[in-house]
Amino acid sequence: MEAFWWTLYWIGVGVAFVQSLLLVLQTWEHRRYVRSSMKGWERHQPTGRVLLCAPCKGRDLNLEDNLRSLLEQDYDDYEVSFIVESVDDPACTAIRRAMAAHPWMSARLIVAGRATESGQKVHNLLAATARLSPRIEYVAFVDSDARPRPEWLRMLISRLYRPHMGAMTGYRWFVPETNSAANKLLYSLNCNVMSLLGRNSHYLLWGGSWAVRREVFEKIGFRSAWKGTIGDDLIARRLLSEAKMQVRFEPACVVASPIDSSFSEAISFVRRQYQLSFYYARDWWAFAVLSTTFNNLVWLGNLGLLAWGFLSRANWAWIPAAVTSLLYLLTVYRGKMRQDLADLYFPHLYRALRQAKRFDIWFQPVISLIHGIIVWSAGFGRRVSWRGISYRLTSDGKIKGSWRSNDSAVLPMPGVAADLPESQRKDADYQKIG
C-alpha cells in the first residue's frame, strides 16, 4: 500500500513539473514574440476608414486622459464614437472636454439609453454599430479605462487586410495607483493570463482592445449574436472560432489600465471574468478549474507531507522539501520572465510597477490558491454584476433580468440626444438612438 501511494505521488509530481516547464516555455515564447514584434512598427501603414467604438460608464481613473489618447492616434482616417447610457452619466463631462480639445477630430457622443434586453455595454455597442457609414472598412473597440499608445489603432488594423485574419486583439496591463495587496493581486492575476498569449491568441480576444474588418463583422453576425447577452468579446471569440478565422495578438496593442480597488472589488472583478467564461467559453473555464485545482493540490499536498514528515521525523521528509523548493524556483523564474514584459511594454512605468512586480515574482503559491478559489466560485450562482448593474442569467448565458444598485428592475428608456455648440462638431458629435 505504501508503494502505491508513493507511485501516485511521483506521478503527480512529474505532471506538476511538466506543467510548470510548459508554462515557463510559453512565457519565454511570449517574451520572444514581444521583443520581435516591437521592432519596425513604422513599416505598418494600413489604409481604410476605421470606426472606433468607446463605451463609457461612470468615472474611470484618469478618464479624460484615456479619452484624449483615443483622439490622438497616429492614424489619419478614423472616427470615434463615445457611447453612454444617459446624458447624466459622469463620463459625459470628460467626453465633452476631450472632444472640445480636439475639434478637428471626427467624433460623436452617442446616448444609447438604458438597456432592456442586453447588458449595458453590449447595448452601447449595438447602438454604435447600428448604422455604419458606407465609408467604414474596419470597426475597432476600446474600453474607457484603457490608455493606448499613439500607434495603437494603426497596429490594431495593420494585418486585417489578410483574408484569413478574423480579428486583431491586444490586452490590458494593470498599473496599480497604490501598492495595496488588492491592487497587487489583480496585477499578478492579470500578468498570469497575459503571459499565455502568443502570436496565435488561441481565439482569446479581449473586448477592451480589438478590431475586425467590417465585412467580417457583418458576415458572421456579431450584432445578432450579442443581443440578449453581456459577453461581447467572448461571443465574438466563439463566432470567429466557428468561422475558423484567425485571431492574432498584437503586442503594440497592449494598453495600460490604472487600478485602485479594495480587496472585495478585486475578488468581484476576477470572479466576474470567470463567470463570463463559465457562460460563454465553458472550455476555458473548465481548463482553468483543472489546471488551478491540480496546481494547488500539488502545492498543498507537498506542504502537508513536509509537515507530517518533519513532525514525525521521517527520513523521507527531504523529498517533499526538495520538490516544493524546485517547484517554487520554477515559479520564481517564470515570474522574473513575466516581469521582463513590463519593462518591454511600458519601460516608463519601471518605478511605478516595482512593488507589484516583486509581489508577482515571490508570492505565486498564495496567488495561485486565491486564484483557484475564485475560479471554482465562478461556477456557482447566476448573478453577474457590472458597474452597479446586476444581471441574472439563464443557463445558456441569456439575460433573464437585471437590477441596479439604486432602483428596481431595469425599465425601458429610449435614447435621447444632447447638444454641443456647432463649432465643436465634426460630422455628428451626438447621435440619437431611439
Whether the Cβ atoms of residue 230 and residue 121 lie closer than 8 Å to each other: yes
With respect to residue 69, please indicate whether it lies within any of the assigned structural domains.
yes
Phi and psi at residue 369, in whole multiples of 5°? -65, -45
Under DSSP, the state recorded for 193 is: H
What is the C-alpha separation between 122 and 133, in angstroms, rounded?
Answer: 20
With respect to residue 402, please indicate whether it lies within any of the assigned structural domains.
no
Question: In this predicted structure, what is the pLDDT of residue 430?
Answer: 41
Indicate the length of the chain as a whole number.
Answer: 434
Residues 276 and 340 both lie in one domain = no
Closest CA to 55 of 140, 170, 168, 173: 140
Q: How confident is the model over 224-236, as pLDDT tens digits?
A: 999 999 989 999 9
With respect to residue 304, please indicate whether it lies within any of the assigned structural domains.
yes
What is the C-alpha separation between 85 and 58, in angstroms, rounded?
Answer: 10
- Beta-ladder partners of 404: 389
With respect to residue 273, please indicate whether it lies within any of the assigned structural domains.
yes
Residues contacting residue 314 through CB under 8 Å, at least 6 positions apart: 308
Question: In this predicted structure, what is the pLDDT of residue 1?
Answer: 62
Residues 221 and 322 both lie in one domain = no
SS3 annotation, 287-310: HHHHHHHHHHHHHHHHHHHHHHHH
Residues 71 and 208 both lie in one domain = yes
Whether the Cβ atoms of residue 331 and residue 146 lie closer than 8 Å to each other: no
Residues 222 and 314 both lie in one domain = no
Please list the ranges in the chain whose pLDDT falls under 70. Answer: 1, 201, 406-434
Q: CATH number of the domain at 200, please.
A: 3.90.550.10
Give the Å distances, CA to CA, from 151 to 54, 102, 147: 17, 18, 12
**Domain boundaries, position 86:** 47-281+414-432
Residues 315 and 217 both lie in one domain = no
Residues 171 and 249 both lie in one domain = yes
Residues 88 and 121 both lie in one domain = yes
Residues 245 and 115 both lie in one domain = yes
With respect to residue 398, please indicate whether it lies within any of the assigned structural domains.
no
Residues contacting residue 238 through CB under 8 Å, at least 6 positions apart: 225, 280, 281
Phi and psi at residue 168, in whole multiples of 5°? -115, 140
Residues 238 and 364 both lie in one domain = no
Q: How confident is the model over 107-166, as pLDDT tens digits?
A: 999 999 999 899 999 999 999 999 999 999 999 999 999 999 999 999 999 999 999 999
Question: In this predicted structure, what is the pLDDT of residue 406?
Answer: 62
Residues 276 and 310 both lie in one domain = no
Residues 240 and 300 both lie in one domain = no
Rg (CA), the chain: 23
Residues 342 and 267 both lie in one domain = no
Whether the Cβ atoms of residue 288 and residue 73 lie closer than 8 Å to each other: no
Closest CA to 264 of 406, 392, 362, 374: 374
Phi and psi at residue 263, in whole multiples of 5°? -65, -40
Phi and psi at residue 41, in whole multiples of 5°? -60, -30
* Residue pointed to by grid coordinates 481565439: 203
Instruction: Indicate the number of domains in the chain.
Output: 2
